[in-house]
Amino acid sequence: MPTLQPESPSPEPSAVRPEPPSSLPPHRARAMAESFGVDAARYDRARPPYPAELIERIVRTAPGRDVLDVGSGTGIAARQFRAAGCTVLGVEPDARMAEFARGTGVEAEVSTFEDWDPAGRTFDAVVAGTAWHWVDPVAGAAQAARVLRPGGLLAPFNHVFQLPPELGEQLTEVYRRVVPDSPFVNQPTRPAAELYQAIFDKIAEGIRTTGQFAEPEQWRYDWERTYTRDEWLDQLPTSGGFTRLPADRLAELQAGVGAAIDAMGGSFTMPYATVAVAAVRTPA
């Protein structure tokens, strides 16, 4: 069984922001979870891919190259694994997203992961790119244990990001004015890094409950991306809090956000950390 070793730690981001909180646990907020396909092409175009170093580490840690991508969406991560030499099957609850992924050559089946029938198929790795929080953490880990071969790897991963403070403050004012009912308006006062760590801790605890994995570890990769005004406005409607906004409110929101970015010179640099919670399936 391969041994997972943490790579060199990186400094914690000072203010990362997850998807907006909800009165329901994310895996029960089905309307939001299955709203991203409203504009699948925009989602695929605007959402960033994952660090190549993370993809490579997952591939070299898994015992083989059969990968199951949970919440595969439009196939962003799946295409990266295919480019690394893997055979990838996606499981995606939104038929619109799955259809888009198939158009890019990604095989995808429509189902929530908890209810998906593997039909006897097994895999070397189960991954999920910014999607595991939509999965029941206990039932999802148990399903992963069922479909992983001994020594296989479960590795859900998330982007963690930090808006520049001055831009974040301005955007909060825009949200308060245009979408006062948005969860983005009343973010918790705790440092957002703690909010994301709570998500990762819940993933790890769900994995532990199965009794079928080695102790989960966190792998982290830091990077950054510079967004132009138009690039950020293009991705804005793909956020869970905004996918279902009426067209007029979305246009007003984008105008306000665009003005804030213009005031910063028309672009900004976003620091990202991509974090995986990784655990090896122990022998049966």
- Tell me phi and psi for residue 227, to 5 degrees: -105, 135
Give 245's pLDDT tier (boundaries 50, 70, 90).
confident
Q: How many residues does this entry show for the chain? A: 284
Q: What is the pLDDT of residues 247-276, one digit of tens each?
A: 898 999 999 999 999 999 999 999 999 999
Query: Amino acid identity of 73?
Result: G
Cross-strand partners of 166: none
- What per-residue confidence (pLDDT) applies to 34? 56
Rounded-to-integer distance, Cα 111 and Cα 135, Å: 11
- Identify the residue whose tokens are 């976003």: 270
- The pTM assigned to this predicted structure is 0.85
3-state secondary structure of 40: helix
Residue 160, CA distances (Å) to 65, 115, 262, 269 in order? 27, 28, 24, 14
Kind and range of the H or E run holding 78: helix 76-83
Q: What is the pLDDT of residues 111-161, one digit of tens each?
A: 999 999 999 999 999 999 999 999 999 999 999 999 999 999 999 999 998
Give 180's pLDDT tier (boundaries 50, 70, 90).
confident
Burial class (CB in 10 A: 0-12, 13-18, 19+), 256: middle
Query: Amino acid identity of 80?
Result: Q
For all residues of the chain together, what is the average pLDDT?
A: 87
- What per-residue confidence (pLDDT) applies to 242? 79
Handedness of CA 37, 43, 48, 49 (dihedral sign): positive
Binning the chain into helix, strand and coil, the percentages to the nearest 5 are 40, 25, 35
Q: Given a cut of 80, is residue 14 above it in pLDDT? A: no
What is the widest separation between alpha-carbon atoms in the chain?
Answer: 58
Q: What is the pLDDT of residues 23-66, one digit of tens each?
A: 445 555 445 555 666 889 999 999 999 999 999 999 999 999 99
DSSP symbol at 23: S
| Structure-block tokens of residue 209 | 């409950």
* Per-residue exposure over 188-224, b if at least 16 CB sit within 10 Å of its own CB, e if not: eeeebbebbbebbebbbebbeebebbbebbbbbbebe
| Structure-block tokens of residue 206 | 């769900």
Cβ atoms 234, 45 nearer than 8 A = yes
Out of 100-104, 106-110, 229-233, 234-238, least confident range:
234-238
